[in-house]
Homo-oligomer: A and B are copies of this chain.
């Protein structure tokens, strides 16, 4: 079981962008990539998804870059991960539509367990906003 790097990198990028958005400062892909030691080409595609979802706004050309598209308290980790991870469920059959087509569903006694795991993950992600993360780091 692993979260993809897309999700990880995306969250880290959002943190960097958030830290600069106070001063209306746009951060470039290269700056983020350098700071977080991530391939910039790869990061670009990740941020592009975040942009489509409205979590960041962009400005092209010299001095361009990215800035938050919403307030930190209105961006939670579940939303970010949902955009970036292709499918966030811990197994396919968590999804009701898949479940109903599943050969096995009539006697699958394990599904309840996966539902619980899934719910636990979602809860943590949904209850953590970008604001929480920033605050948490300033505190200590």
Contact = CB atoms under 8 A, between A and B. Distances in A.
A133 B104 contact: no
Nearest to A18: B109
A101 to B, nearest CB: 13
A116 B128 contact: yes
A1 B124 CA distance: 15
Nearest to A103: B37
B136 A87 contact: no
A15 B120 contact: no
A109 B3 contact: no
A96 interface: no
A112 B136 contact: yes
A39 to B, nearest CB: 13
A62 interface: no
Interface of A: 1-4, 7-8, 11-12, 15, 35-37, 77, 81, 85, 87-91, 103-104, 107-110, 112-114, 116-117, 120-121, 123-125, 128, 133-134, 136-137
